[in-house]
Amino acid sequence: MSVQPNSAPSTARSQWLADAAVLLVAVFWGSSFITAQKVILIYPLFLFLFFRFTLSMLLLLPAVWGKLKSFTPETLKTGAIFGLFLSLIFSLETLGIAYTTATNAGFLISLCIVFVPVIEALLSRRLPNMLVLGAVLLSFVGTGMLTLKTGYSFNIGDLFILSAAVVRALFMIFSKKLTDGKKTDNALLTFVQLGIVALCTGIVSFLKYPPTQMKLPSPEVWASLLYLAVFCTIYAFYVQLTFIRRSSPARVGLLLGTEPLFAALFGITLGQETVTAVGWVGGICILVATWMGRRAEEASRA
């Protein structure tokens, strides 16, 4: 009688590798705030975005080269719409971190998960459920505790990040609507998105900056651009396509939900930022609100 090999250890190992890969995406995304913040102190913002996404697009080109023959007008149209969304998101995010801390940015951008079910409820003209309302209330309290450190002072950076979170939520909603039931090549779609962001930020750079500022990045800036392109864009894209199939949406959401904690960790260790006890409580409130928003979104799609 033959004995079937036990596949449980290999399955567990595969799950562990998938979880580790997704968690590493959260680490890289958390580090992107302080990395970008340091770069835009010494280099024009929109030129930085232009080179970041041009480099990301060129690095992705070998992976999509053989697929270009299957390129369709539908892919171009959908990718262009997504690219415009991403252009606005990254512009708002990068503007925001020029005026606020990487810690605040990491926590506040995660509120896009809370905004998704709220916006969907508004678009469908129905009242959100109690879980969504609870998440909104908790996120409002957490945002106040995190951002209002010395009284009711207005921080334009936090407003930019919150605006980016709203646009991210809209992007998530329209991404599903525009791709649901359609056969799309994710690699080609991503390539078009990156190209549109590079085009938009390149045009803004040409119109905004005088010729004296239109200079190539320094070696220090190139190093940051390469890090953001390889790890925060290409790697993250590959992991989401490859390893998300080995896990559940809830599990992936939980792992990616740690991004704000890593943003705070990098902001404190590399950016010498400080967070008060009240600020930490506010950040935790936002994380809990994000979890509640994700649960509400999953329940609505079930």
pLDDT, one tens digit per residue, over 145-171 is: 777 665 545 578 889 999 998 998 888
Residues spanned by the domain of 219: 17-300
12 lies in some domain: no
The single-letter DSSP state of residue 231 is I
pLDDT, one tens digit per residue, over 88-144 is: 999 999 999 989 888 888 888 878 877 877 787 788 777 777 777 787 788 778 777
Rounded CA separation 272/266 (Å): 9
3 lies in some domain: no
Q: How many CB atoms lie within 10 A of CB 130?
A: 9
136 lies in some domain: yes
What pTM does this model have? 0.81
Burial 38-65 (b: 16+ CB within 10 A, else e): bbbeebbbbbbbbbbbbbbbeebeeebe
Rounded CA separation 59/90 (Å): 19
Average predicted confidence (pLDDT) for the chain = 81
Report the chain's terminal Cα–Cα distance, integer Å.
Answer: 45
2 lies in some domain: no
Q: How many CB atoms lie within 10 A of CB 214?
A: 12
What ranges make up the beta strands (E) of the chain? none
What's residue 2's pLDDT? 47
Q: Which amino acid is at 205?
A: S
8 lies in some domain: no
Rounded CA separation 35/266 (Å): 9
165 lies in some domain: yes
What's residue 1's pLDDT? 43
Q: What is the DSSP string of 32-90?
A: HHHHHHHHTTTS-HHHHHHHHHHHHHHHHHHHHGGGGGG--HHHHHHHHHHHHHHHHHH
Rounded CA separation 26/260 (Å): 8
pLDDT, one tens digit per residue, over 37-74 is: 999 989 999 999 999 999 999 998 988 888 887 778 88
- Number of compact structural domains in the chain: 1
pLDDT, one tens digit per residue, over 233-265 is: 888 877 766 665 555 555 666 677 778 888 888
243 lies in some domain: yes
What's residue 238's pLDDT? 75
Q: How much of the chain is helix, strand and coil, in % rounded to 5?
A: 80, 0, 20
Cα separation values, 209 from 44, 91, 201, 205, 220, Å: 8, 15, 12, 6, 21
